[in-house]
Chain A
């Protein structure tokens, strides 16, 4: 019963983590809210949260900036404003799902998401589900799933916030947020206009002649984004409607090793995402249904190559789920979903579609006060072909309930459908591809120690191993084009750990957090020969270290973040690599409250030591940059 009450309280009111000064901490999965309703998750799976306190510092940044600085996650970034894709636990971008309130944002054509066009100011919380934990949100996240969530605040208070920012390299941003309503109705409106020239200087010592300072060309970005959310709450039900429109135009810079054109490649991405959901809550049963539609119109132009590539994808998804608590110890969850992808592109031979249905069953059982188990089974039917079922199971042993000290172990199987580009790209697409599938095992230990009433230390360590088989790889074929096939098997193993220390006394608080991740990912079987077997996969760093310090005293606050990324190999035989780099950023600010009004002014410097680095070969990244931000908030 306490479990149920806990979730109901969570749902009906509140983002506790958003209100408390918490950092990005490892949490028990049962404590996470997705899509505004309570959920069951496998107890053996790891999930972490980036909360609103961290996101506050990034209201003018995108999700890739947040994750690269605050999580031990490698973001493959083509430069400021350029495409940014995520790599979880040594798996590629195609193996990490990105969801918005449970709705997939991954392109059905490409199978991945571009984090650079997702503004963090629109998001209230980022949940990172590793390995088997992602199965609850659907199959395909072999490395994991990033869920971007928004949520209502059920009060009769209205808030208006205007956030203006300007900074180096011609970056200007205006972000507006308005919230109004009652205890039963909430409206949340967010709008962002952002532009950046991105003409940052870099030292070019790659081309003929003396090294010279040049400026990046054809790198500007413009983004307009709007989100409206409506929430209606009845006695035991909630109706939610969400719409998110984005229009992004980006010039695409070339690697500095070739001549930089003034008017080169560019890409316009226009996206409309919408979700309507209904949830009802009874004493022991929660029911929820949602209908979503994601439309993405991407136009890529390359005037030099005379390419004008138009790609329109529409995805309709319907999901219904039921959660039932049999007693205090046992609960189960059933979910059924159907997703229809419709694609119209010049790159396929005609219009293509794919229909995928899924059924999920999850069972959680507390064997004793110290021991609980979970099992999740999920199967998919794609284009009338029944797939091998996925599963996630786990055991958790609680060492000390008062201290949140526990050990958990989990194994899972996950599978990923081939992307529609893999199947239908013309020429080369292979409609006979099999699913890629993975087996993951992980062992985690978590603990916290209250040293004094003001001082709390928490820590977590995880080891894991992932094996992916039937990996799809594009290889050169008989003609002058490439074709995909299921040819490789890969193995990824590693460890993650973090330590956090928080101290709070009167109006002074400080939080220090350190994260480390080690990963070795390599092919264990490949048609491409023995020479690359066992070698670290390209663009997969072995070591990631993050450190953060956040402090506040009265109306002043300060944060310092440091992130180290080790070298990344750029060739499959590991003969070439990019050096590791360490980035530091600092933010100082003050906020003043005057009877319903709040003014916050802050100064932020990124890459404060002006490190010269590349995340992708020949794509320089910006040096030291400065941003000033002014926030005005009115509450009534």
Chain B
């Protein structure tokens, strides 16, 4: 038996052991102080079925981003594919799409007050009154009604279509049927019944109401790229389409319609960032911010300060960026959020 050879063999095996560690250091007290201030929540959607969705907070006070704050406060993950946050009074409602939950948290501490569960693919929450909110659904044909006093489900509205974006004008909720849809459903918020529908281009994705109380609907045209996208202006009192802007290229896939502080300028994402006046006669011909190698995913405009944020999801696998620009499109700040940074909620 050749012992030196065995020794060489063993040495090779032993030398191959190695270990690396990484850690996350966050100060709970500093985080609690920061969360009391102004800023924006950023939803990090994470990957579908990977359970790596999270919540970030960008502080206006110190210009820093705080990642995975829901976990830091509540010692459990947020869930699978969170989609949006809506603030109502002292509470924030975090809609966790694929977990089918709404996490009701105290907006200044993020401590969970209640978890509303059992929803079918919830997407966005619209505050209808002090007592009532609507929740849209990607797969269900119903709108879920939530009692904001008890934070529980109080009913359903049969929409007969899936739903996505929602806005409120007087006693009417305008609800877009996005996934494979082409209608804006009109719901009477007093009776909680669908009363009308407005036919638009395929896949109405986002909506805003301008300073003239006109409803703007951005239709992405469908993911197959076979139909032209469209931006429509609708009179919400008559439910009539007043203007239609058809995107010239089928390759356009616009999303995330937003308004500025004075509600007279529209912003949206279409590879880069685009903006147009609500009085414009035609669509803009050049982007306001070119993508410049970034994968521009979502857009948010803080209506209080006109702060413009957008996200770069990079490759959907690594931590994406949150980028802040001014109204001229110049970079103010850029910081790393988490996986697939998506929608914003300004606090």
B-binding residues in A (CB < 8 A): 205-209, 254-255, 257-259, 304-306, 405, 427, 445, 447, 449-451, 457, 459, 461, 463, 473, 475-476, 478-481, 494-495, 497, 499, 516, 518, 527-529, 531-532, 538, 542-543, 566, 570-576, 617-618
Contacts and interface: CB of A to CB of B under 8 A. Distances in A.
B51 A618 contact: yes
Given A208-B117, A475-B315, A575-B22, A259 B223 contact: no
Nearest to A494: B16
Interface of B: 1-2, 5-6, 8-10, 12-13, 16-19, 22, 24, 49-52, 76-77, 79-80, 98-101, 103, 112, 115, 117-118, 120-121, 139, 220, 223-225, 251, 253, 271, 295, 313-319, 339
Contact of B80 (A255, A306, A527): A255
A527 B80 CA distance: 27
B49 A254 contact: yes
B51 A206 contact: yes
Contacts of B224: 427, 479
Contacts of B98: 258
Nearest to B312: A529
Contacts of A473: 315
A277 to B, nearest CB: 40
A571 B12 contact: no
Given A254-B49, A449-B6, A479-B224, A518 B16 contact: yes
5 contacts: A205-B76, A257-B79, A427-B224, A445-B9, A476-B315
A259 B251 contact: no
Which of B77, B98, B314 gathers most chain A CB within 10 Å? Answer: B314
Contacts of A304: 120-121, 139
A571 B319 contact: yes
B51 A529 contact: no
Given A495-B12, A543-B17, A570-B52, 9 more contacts: A208-B112, A259-B118, A445-B9, A528-B315, A531-B319, A532-B318, A571-B339, A573-B319, A618-B49
In order of increasing CB-CB distance, the 8 nearest A-B pairs are: A257-B51, A528-B315, A480-B223, A208-B115, A618-B51, A518-B16, A572-B318, A449-B1
Given A476-B295, A478-B253, A574 B51 contact: no
A102 B234 CA distance: 64
Given A206-B76, A208-B117, A495-B12, A573 B318 contact: yes
A427 B9 contact: no
B9 A479 contact: no
Given A206-B76, A259-B117, A457-B1, A497 B13 contact: yes
A448 to B, nearest CB: 10
Given A206-B51, A617-B52, A258 B79 contact: yes
A571 B51 CA distance: 12
A594 to B, nearest CB: 42
B251 A478 contact: yes
Contacts of B220: 480
A454 to B, nearest CB: 14
A479 B225 contact: yes
A618 B50 contact: yes
Nearest to B96: A258
Contacts of A207: 76, 99
Nearest to B119: A259
Contacts of B139: 304-306
Nearest to A462: B12
B223 A479 contact: yes
Contacts of A445: 8-9
Contacts, number: 137
Given A518-B17, A576-B52, A258 B80 contact: yes
A499 B9 contact: yes
Contacts of B50: 255, 570, 617-618
A461 B319 contact: no
Which of B1, B18, B100, B115 gathers most chain A CB within 10 Å? Answer: B1
A350 B19 CA distance: 50
Nearest to A305: B139
Nearest to A455: B1
A193 to B, nearest CB: 31
A457 B1 CA distance: 9
Which of A205, A531, A573 gathers most chain B CB within 10 Å? Answer: A573
Contact of B9 (A461, A538, A566): A461
B315 A572 contact: yes
Contact of B13 (A405, A516, A571): A516
Contacts of A516: 13, 16
B5 A447 contact: yes
Contacts of A476: 295, 313, 315-316
A532 B315 CA distance: 11
Given A208-B115, A259-B100, A529 B318 contact: yes
B9 A258 contact: no
A484 to B, nearest CB: 12
Which of B10, B13, B103, B271 gathers most chain A CB within 10 Å? Answer: B13
B51 A481 contact: no
B51 A480 contact: no
Contacts of A575: 22, 24, 319
A95 B22 CA distance: 29
A254 B80 CA distance: 11
A575 B10 CA distance: 33
B101 A617 contact: no
Contact of B1 (A451, A475, A531): A451
Contacts of B80: 255, 257-258, 618
Nearest to A452: B1
Contacts of B10: 499
A493 B253 CA distance: 42
B51 A617 contact: yes
Contacts of A529: 314-315, 318
Contacts of A494: 16
Contacts of A463: 12
A257 B70 CA distance: 15
Nearest to B112: A208
A570 B339 CA distance: 11
A459 B1 CA distance: 12
A271 to B, nearest CB: 26
B161 to A, nearest CB: 13
B87 to A, nearest CB: 20
Contacts of A305: 139
Nearest to A536: B20
B304 to A, nearest CB: 31
B213 to A, nearest CB: 30
B317 A572 contact: yes
Contacts of B100: 258-259
B317 A571 contact: yes
Nearest to B9: A459
A574 to B, nearest CB: 7
Contacts of B24: 575
Which of A209, A255, A527, A566 gathers most chain B CB within 10 Å? Answer: A255
